[in-house]
Structure 1
């Protein structure tokens, strides 16, 4: 059904995955979150001070 309704879609998304972070981005904080990153760091530090909820590109704790 997708191929019938959107015939050009496969050529656009052939090599991408939804919700998959690009771990090779050098400045992912700015690219993903822009000016909101410092605010997100404050929230992360307050709600998860031991950084238990983390992955390779999770919000970093404040120093």
Structure 2
């Protein structure tokens, strides 16, 4: 599935949530979508838990 199609589906879901459920539902759908995106990246192996807990110094040291 292309990223453009995924983006269109996400936009439509946010639009329906905003229209039918109001701003609170819009925010809930957006937050759950972000959580789902991160979980999906973990499942694919693109992210590791340690990447969220490194300090800035650790990041600079790894780039060298």
Bigger radius of gyration, 1 or 2?
A: 1
Instruction: Determine which structure has greater relative contact order: mean sequence separation of CA pairs < 8 Å that are 6+ residues apart, divided by chain length.
Output: 1
**Which structure dedicates a bigger proportion of its chain to helix?**
2
